[in-house]
A and B are shown apart, each in its own frame.
Chain A
Amino acid sequence: DVKVTQSSRYLVKRTGEKVFLECVQDMDHENMFWYRQDPGLGLRLIYFSYDVKMKEKGDIPEGYSVSREKKERFSLILESASTNQTSMYLCASSRTRFPDTQYFGPGTRLTVL
């Protein structure tokens, strides 16, 4: 079974803090994704990566950055957390070749005070 893990299930931070969300997958998947999930809006893609040290902006990259130094690890960084970044953050991974089903981690619920 594919396993995608995230470093924290719940996180509380203060406005202006730098926040790191870590994601690790154990299936040697090439592709990794970061989403946020908000009520009524569904999952929205923040950033994705198709290879080590490679990153692409998703639909809502503002206020976020990412790092992929190793194939199995994809980090989401909030340089200066703001209250509108309070959300559920979900990491996913997939292989490049068909079928490229995305497998999700359990999510991190981040609250910014």
Chain B
Amino acid sequence: GQNIDQPTEMTATEGAIVQINCTYQTSGFNGLFWYQQHAGEAPTFLSYNVLDGLEEKGRFSSFLSRSKGYSYLLLKELQMKDSASYLCAVRDQDGGYNKLIFGAGTRLAVHP
């Protein structure tokens, strides 16, 4: 079957570093996305990994290990505006089509 797990909630302090983990089990893995979603707004694209390793983009980095079915999103120098839900999504090839399978999301609260 297909399954994506990530923690439901996390809290962190402004200026700190936080790591949001995602584990997945899919039959036709073809890449992994991270999206940010502020309350009441649309998800917006943060990062994409298809090969093992770390992708860095400013304060945000994303890591992938395909053999372990594991990814994490690393947020550095946290700001209050980083309070949001972070969605892990796996691109799964099914019947010739690529579909995204989303985790339930991790709600991050950043405190002063």
Complex interface: chain A residues within 8 A of B105 (CB): 42
Known: A50-B97, A58-B99. A43 touches B48 (CB 8 A): no
CA distance A72 to B44 in the complex (A): 20
User: How many A residues touch B, CB cutoff 8 Å?
Assistant: 23
Find residues 44-99 in chain A having any chain B CB closer than 8 Å to their own CB: 44-45, 48, 50, 56, 58, 90, 99
Minimum CB–CB distance from B21 to chain A (whole Å) comes to 15
Complex interface: chain A residues within 8 A of B42 (CB): 4, 90, 104-107
CB closest chain-A residue, reference B43: A104
> Interface on chain B toward A: helix, strand, loop, or mixed SS?
strand
CB closest chain-A residue, reference B8: A40
A106 and B48 contact, CB distance less than 8 A = no
User: Residues of A with Cβ closer than 8 Å to B?
Assistant: 4, 33, 35, 40-45, 48, 50, 56, 58, 90, 99-107
Find residues 53-99 in chain B having any chain A CB closer than 8 Å to their own CB: 87, 89, 91, 97-99
CA distance A17 to B101 in the complex (A): 30
Complex interface: chain A residues within 8 A of B12 (CB): none
B43 and A48 contact, CB distance less than 8 A = no
Interface string of B27-43 (1 = CB under 8 A from A): 00000010000001111
Find residues 1-27 in chain B having any chain A CB closer than 8 Å to their own CB: 4, 8
Complex interface: chain B residues within 8 A of A44 (CB): 102
Q: Can you give 24 A-B contacts (C-beta < 8 A)? A: A4-B42, A35-B102, A40-B104, A41-B104, A42-B105, A43-B87, A43-B102, A44-B102, A45-B99, A45-B100, A48-B97, A48-B99, A50-B97, A90-B43, A100-B91, A101-B48, A102-B33, A102-B45, A102-B100, A104-B42, A105-B42, A106-B41, A106-B42, A107-B40
